[in-house]
């Protein structure tokens, strides 16, 4: 059966404008309902941050990224994992927010200014949403801005503790990566680790992931907007399930592969950094033109 859920990018003139109009219409119609946005690696790709699990030729550690980002690997080879994360943190630091990040800030401002609700949940550990100015933000996979003690129940460790990465001196480890120079917790002397959700860990392992809050908010969403998510990570599946069960409309903006076919979701095949600025501009124009036929 042919449906309108799949529209190829720019296969005909004006496709991008049609996508933008369609999305602007549904966002505008939300009024005070919750606009629930989920972003993935695709939103940061235009800022030059390699996708974590993607198959692009320049994707970092494509050989065994899933294996590297595990607690098991941290325990086996903390030096190797620290070297990997430092390289990743460095690439994140030099990146700048792109027009997709900025458009999401505009949508948040616009939606909240009219008394509506807005929530952004990102799977990205980079800090580009914060630096662009996003306020209602849940970093469900952790953040590159922090580290934590690997020793449970240390004040800097799970379930609630962390430490700013800027406060940790990694110079000696950088100069001579070894077990002796591994960054250590200032409170207990244990090893520090990335403040991120490893693939062999659970969302409930740390309060900062705010998983339960994200799920509660999702159940009250008026619209789901997935941006640059590959749908290969468990949490997007959970959100899609919520959307499906609650009959909540869902859109995906991504230039790549279509979302899983077993959920009702409209796929707008487009690059977020091109489409979202148009959408943000359109919704603000709609607000100024109350007589327009929306
Ligand atoms: Zn500690």
Which pLDDT value is given to residue 290?
54
Quick one: tokens of 16? Answer: 């991008």
| Ligand 1 centroid to residue 192 C-alpha, Å | 7
pLDDT confidence tier of residue 289, bands split at 50, 70 and 90 = low
Assigned superfamily of 1-49+97-141+203-289: TPP-binding domain (3.40.50.1220)
Which comes out higher in pLDDT, residue 4 or 268?
A: 268
| Ligand 1 centroid to residue 161 C-alpha, Å | 9
pLDDT confidence tier of residue 56, bands split at 50, 70 and 90 = very low
Among candidate residues 88, 108, 96, the one with its CA nearest the CA of residue 34: 108
Which pLDDT value is given to residue 202?
95
| Ligand 1 centroid to residue 191 C-alpha, Å | 7
Which pLDDT value is given to residue 100?
98
156 is catalytic: no
**Least-confidence region, from 30-39, 103-112, 256-265, 284-293:** 284-293
3-state secondary structure of 241: helix
pLDDT higher than threshold 60 for residue 11: no
Residue with tokens 């100069």: 175
Quick one: tokens of 28? Answer: 């505008």
DSSP 256-293: SSPPPTTS--EEE-S-HHHHHHHHHHHHHHHHH-TTS-
**Least-confidence region, from 88-97, 122-131, 251-260:** 251-260
**Least-confidence region, from 189-193, 208-212, 287-291:** 287-291
Which pLDDT value is given to residue 266?
93
Q: Are 121 and 140 in contact (CB under 8 A)?
A: yes
| Ligand 1 centroid to residue 165 C-alpha, Å | 14
Could you tell me which CATH class the domain 51-94+146-196 is placed in?
Answer: alpha beta
Report the mean per-residue pLDDT for the chain. Answer: 89
| Ligand 1 centroid to residue 194 C-alpha, Å | 13
Most confidently modeled of 23-32, 40-49, 233-242?
23-32
Largest CA distance in the chain: 69
Range(s) within the chain of domains with CATH label 3.30.1600.10: 51-94+146-196
**Residue of 101, 141, 195, 206 with catalytic role:** 141
Which pLDDT value is given to residue 57?
45
* pTM across the whole model: 0.90
Among candidate residues 232, 274, 240, 281, the one with its CA nearest the CA of residue 255: 274
Residues around ligand 1, an ion, CB closer than 5 A: 149, 151, 154, 156, 185, 187-188, 190
pLDDT higher than threshold 90 for residue 14: no
pLDDT confidence tier of residue 55, bands split at 50, 70 and 90 = very low
| Ligand 1 centroid to residue 228 C-alpha, Å | 35
Instruction: Give the CA dihedral 169, 173, 178, 181, nearest 10 degrees.
Output: -30
Residue with tokens 């290969």: 232
Q: Which long-range contacts (CB under 8 A, 24 or more apart) does 92-97 make?
A: 92/49, 92/125, 92/126, 92/127, 92/144, 93/144, 94/48, 95/44, 95/47, 95/48, 95/49, 95/126, 95/128, 96/47, 96/128, 96/131, 97/47, 97/128, 97/129, 97/131, 97/132
Most confidently modeled of 182-186, 238-242, 257-261?
182-186
The rounded Cα 83 to chain-centroid distance in angstroms is 23
Render pLDDT for 221-237 as a digit per residue (tens, 0 to 9): 999 999 999 887 679 98
pLDDT higher than threshold 80 for residue 250: yes
Render pLDDT for 84-103 as a digit per residue (tens, 0 to 9): 999 989 988 899 999 999 99
Which comes out higher in pLDDT, residue 289 or 73?
A: 73
Which pLDDT value is given to residue 232?
73
Q: How much of the chain exceeds pLDDT 90, in percent?
A: 74
Range(s) within the chain of domains with CATH label 3.40.50.1220: 1-49+97-141+203-289
Which pLDDT value is given to residue 106?
98
């Amino acid at each position: 059966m042919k449906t309108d859920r799949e529209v190829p990018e720019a296969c005909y003139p004006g496709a991008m404008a049609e996508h933008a109009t369609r999305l602007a219409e549904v966002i505008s119609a939300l009024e005070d309902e919750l606009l629930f946005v989920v972003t993935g690696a695709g939103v940061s790709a235009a800022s030059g941050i390699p996708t974590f699990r993607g198959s692009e030729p320049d994707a970092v550690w494509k050989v065994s990224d899933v294996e590297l980002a595990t607690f098991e690997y941290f325990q086996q080879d903390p030096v190797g994992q620290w070297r990997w994360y430092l390289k990743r943190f460095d690439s994140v630091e030099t990146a700048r927010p792109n027009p997709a990040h900025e458009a999401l800030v505009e949508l948040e401002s616009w939606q909240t200014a009219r008394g509506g609700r807005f929530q952004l949940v990102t799977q990205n550990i980079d800090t580009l949403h914060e630096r662009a100015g996003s306020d209602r933000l849940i970093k469900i996979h952790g953040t590159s801005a922090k580290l934590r003690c690997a020793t449970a129940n240390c004040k800097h460790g799970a379930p609630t503790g962390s430490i700013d990465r800027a406060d940790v001196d990694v110079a000696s480890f950088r100069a001579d990566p070894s077990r002796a120079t591994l960054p250590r917790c200032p409170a207990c002397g244990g090893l520090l680790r990335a403040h991120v959700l490893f693939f062999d860990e659970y969302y409930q392992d740390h309060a900062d992931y705010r998983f339960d809050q994200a799920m509660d908010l999702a159940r009250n969403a008026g619209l789901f907007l997935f941006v640059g998510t590959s749908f290969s990570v468990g949490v997007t599946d959970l959100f899609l399930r919520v959307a499906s069960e609650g009959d909540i409309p869902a859109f995906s903006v991504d230039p790549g592969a279509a979302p899983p076919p077993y959920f009702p979701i409209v796929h707008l095949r487009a690059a977020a950094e091109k489409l979202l600025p148009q959408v943000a501009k359109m919704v603000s124009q709609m607000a100024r033109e109350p007589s327009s036929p929306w």
